[in-house]
Structures are given as C-alpha cells and as structure tokens.
Amino acid sequence: MTDPTLAAKPTRPRTMKRELGLPALIAYGLTSMGVLSVVSVYGPATAISDGHLPAAYVAAILIMLFTAHSYGRMAAHVPITGGAYAYATRAFGPAPGFLTGWVMLLDYLFLPMVNFLLFGLYFNSLFTTIPSWVGTLICIVIVAVLSVIGVSWIKRMNSVVIVASVLVVVAFLTLAILNAPDLSLAAVMTPLTPGEGGIGPILAAAAIVAFAFLGFDGVSTLAEETKDPRRRVPKGIVLSTLFAGLGYLAFSIAGSLIVPDWTTLSNLDAAGTELMQQAGGDVLMVVFVIVNVVGIVLCGTAAQMSVSRVLFAMGRDGILPPVLARLHRRFRTPYIAAAVVSVVALVALFITLDQAVYMINFGALVAFAVVNLATIKVLFFDLRLRGGWGLLRHLIMPLIGFVSIAWLWTSLAPFTYALGGAWLAVGVTIYLVRRRRTGGPLALRIDGADTETMPTLQYQS
C-alpha cells in the first residue's frame, strides 16, 4: 500500500510554464537591449561619426538584422531553451556547442553586471554620501528576487517600462521638432548621408552603436516558456531588433535637429541628458532619469533570466552540474541557476564598467558568429532547405551576417581578446574534465522539454 504522505508530496516540475506571447517576447527583447540605451552613447558616437550618427544607426540596424534573422530561423527549427548553445550543439556537436555556450556566458553573465554598475552610479549621484557599490548591491538583490519570480510578473513590468520609455522618446521627438532651429529637408537628410570624411567615420561609429543591440538574442532562451515557440520566438527576435533600431534612429535624428552642431555640446558623456533638457527642460530630464533607472533594473533582470536559462539547459544536458536544471515548485523557474548567477554578479562590486563591457563584447560576437554558421550548416546543408527563398534565407543572409560580425571584431580592444581567450581556455578544461568523468562525448538532450508540444526535434521549413 502506498504511503499517503509520499503520495501527497508535490513532485518537482520538469518543465517551465508556457505563458509568453509575441508582445511579451518583443517587450523582453526591447528591455534586454534597453530602449533608452541610445542616450548613453549619443555623445561619443556622434563625435566618432562626425555628426552623422543617424547614418551609423542605419548601418548598425542592417548588420544586426542579418544575425537576428539567423537566430529566428534556428529558433523555428530548434525550439528549445539555450540559444546559441543549443543551436551550435545541433549544428556542430557537443564540444563546439559547449564552448559556444561557455563563451556566451561571458555576454550573459556580465550584461547584468553593466546594469548593476550603472544603477550604482545613478544611486551615488542621487545620494552622494552613500558609495556606489551600495546601490550596485541593492540592484543585485532586487534582480535576484525578480529572476526567480518568473516571466509572468516580469512581462507586466517590462510592458510598463517599454510604454514609459516610448512615451519619453515620443515626447523628445515632438519637442525636438517643435524647437528645432532648422526643420528643412536638408537638416533631416544631412546626418543620414556621408559627410566630407566619407563613409569611414559612419562605419566606425556603427561598430560602436551596434553593441546597443546586445540582448535581442536573449529572446531565444525563452523558447520553452513561449506558446507556439516555432512561430513566435523568431518573430519576437526580429521585431524587437527592428523596433529598437528604429527607435535609436528616430532619437538620433531628433538629436541632430535640436542640436545641429554637435561640437556645441558641453559634455559628450552626458549628451543624451543635455538633449533632453534642451528639448523639454528639467521636467523631461527628470522623467527620463526615473524611467531609465527602472529600465536598468529590468534590463539586468532580463539579462539574468537569459543566463540562468542557458545554465539550466547545460545542466539538463549534463555538461554542467545537473542541480542547475532544478525548477522552483511554485514559479517553475531555474532558481538554482538564478542563485548562482546572483552570486557571480557580486563580481560587479570589484570591477569597472569598462571591464564588464569588454567581456560582453567578446562573448556576444562569438555567439552571433556561431549562430550564423549554424544556420548555414543545419538548414542549408543538413536539412537541405534550399527551395524557394532557401538559398537567400539559409545561405546568403547568414553568410552576410557572419561577415558583418567578423568585421565588428576589428573594433574590439586588445584587452578583450586576452580576457576572452583566458575564459575559453577555462571552458576547454572544464569540458575535457566532464567528458573524462562521463566516459564519452556529451550530447544535447531535450528530455526536459515540454513533450506535449515538442516530443522530438522535428524540423520544418
């Protein structure tokens, strides 16, 4: 006879809740990138582009959309959590997959740290007697709680912040147009076309502003929490990238209208805030700061949710300790993985903002490059999806995406390669040790996925 106490004991859930729709995915992607991140790089990027920042954003949008397209195609055919890790494993095998996931952790682990550090800086500017590390620690704790609660609450908060951010940008655009000293067609088109320096300054600035798009790939890690992931995740990836790019572009055009001569800006590092003040006075600037601070917290939460799901996938596959694949009984979120990420995030108390950015760039670009190659390998060669638009969608566009990402590599600082190479060496060591202990190669498994909607990895064109 079965012990009733054992029968009543709740079983640990094996799958995450599928409750995300397309709007929630788009909001998540926009939050991950940060709708108002254009403000933080406006001054330096405008100087590098020699006043042609809108043209640089046009180039950056095109570059990132090719890679977003590759993520979308892979998400449609490999609808499981893990992002680039899962796609690389499917395309090239366990070893390249693990190393891609390991390097990708640089992006996902340090992206929330950037937000924690930014929050600390804002906190210190408001409470000058309190060290910035206190604000950083407060943000880490808040994000740790939010990342365990799960997507149901986060999607509501994301929607509110996205709406508020869009309203701030719309207000800025409206006031910039109303107060522009020159609203002629020439004033609008001049920053969109190459100047005396040619296309060189524009491409140099594009390499910088392209990093404002980092985070869109996090949408792919939510495949197992999305309803109909084969259709909605690809759309969420591409649309969030496109909408963010259009928002960045609109802001940069409005900035060039309100301040046609960028050399008159008093502080390039705070140029975005200066533009807000010139367009709408102190009221708009204060509203911007409040929305931006809340957005920083949610951006950090989105990034931490992404990395916890990558750890969850790697734990489920046995490449990292299986305890990382445990789900919370109530929220059905990978709470152990989230806790590990929060502990690692304490590194933010001891590093600088520049060091965190270096690590993000290396990890993101490796993942982007591999996903473009994985799209060609899986869809064009393995599944032979070459009919109709297949040649364009599964070979030419991913190849352009790979070449574009390779070009962005040339903009990284030498210090980035050193840190990235050291991290990769650690990953190789971990993989070899794990393989020796298991007695053979490690393989991607999907037994933890929602078997009702995805019993096996079935592929469709």
Residue keyed to tokens 């992607």: 29
Question: What gap in Å lies between CA 89 and CA 313, rounded to an integer?
Answer: 12
Question: Looking at the DSSP assignment, which residues form a beta bridge with residue 20?
Answer: 226
Question: What gap in Å lies between CA 133 and CA 142, rounded to an integer?
Answer: 14
Q: Place 439 in a pLDDT band, splitting at 50, 70 and 90.
A: low
Give yes or no for residue 409 having a pLDDT over 50.
yes
CATH number for 24-438 (one of 3.40.50.300, 1.10.3720.10, 2.40.50.1070, 1.20.1740.10): it is 1.20.1740.10
pLDDT of residue 460: 36
Query: CA-based angle 280:284:287, to the nearest 5?
Result: 175
| Six token digits for residue 270 | 């705070």
The more confidently predicted of residues 282 and 346 is 346
CA–CA distance from 16 to each of 1, 8, 299, 328 (Å)? 32, 21, 21, 9
Question: Looking at the DSSP assignment, which residues form a beta bridge with residue 198?
Answer: 195
| Six token digits for residue 77 | 């055919």
Q: Place 316 in a pLDDT band, splitting at 50, 70 and 90.
A: confident
**Region 434-440 average pLDDT:** 73
pLDDT tens digits along 192-251: 998 888 888 998 888 888 878 888 888 888 888 888 888 999 999 999 999 999 999 999
| Six token digits for residue 91 | 């395309």
Question: What gap in Å lies between CA 49 and CA 156, rounded to an integer?
Answer: 37
CB contact at 8 A, 361 and 98: no
% of the chain surpassing 90 pLDDT: 27
Question: Based on C-alpha coordinates, what's the Rg of the chain?
Answer: 22
Global pTM reads 0.80
Question: What gap in Å lies between CA 29 and CA 214, rounded to an integer?
Answer: 10
pLDDT tens digits along 372-382: 999 999 999 99
pLDDT of residue 458: 37
pLDDT tens digits along 352-361: 877 777 777 7
Nearest to 79 by CA among 200, 232, 298: 232
Percentages of the chain per state (helix, strand, coil), in multiples of 5 = 75, 0, 25
Question: What gap in Å lies between CA 22 and CA 436, rounded to an integer?
Answer: 42
pLDDT of residue 61: 94
Residue 392: DSSP 8-state:
I
CB contact at 8 A, 325 and 315: yes
Q: Where are the domains of the chain?
A: 24-438
SS (H, E, C) 203-242: HHHHHHHHHHHCCHHHHHHHHHHECCHHHHHHHHHHHHHH
Question: What gap in Å lies between CA 127 and CA 144, rounded to an integer?
Answer: 23
**Region 18-37 average pLDDT:** 84
pLDDT tens digits along 225-235: 888 888 999 99
Q: Place 150 in a pLDDT band, splitting at 50, 70 and 90.
A: low
| Average pLDDT of the chain, as a whole number | 83
42 sits in which H/E element = helix 37-48
CA–CA distance from 63 to each of 31, 57, 60, 245, 445 (Å)? 20, 10, 5, 11, 32
Give yes or no for residue 364 having a pLDDT over 80.
yes
Q: Place 36 in a pLDDT band, splitting at 50, 70 and 90.
A: confident
pLDDT of residue 442: 56
CA–CA distance from 216 to each of 43, 48, 420 (Å)? 23, 25, 21
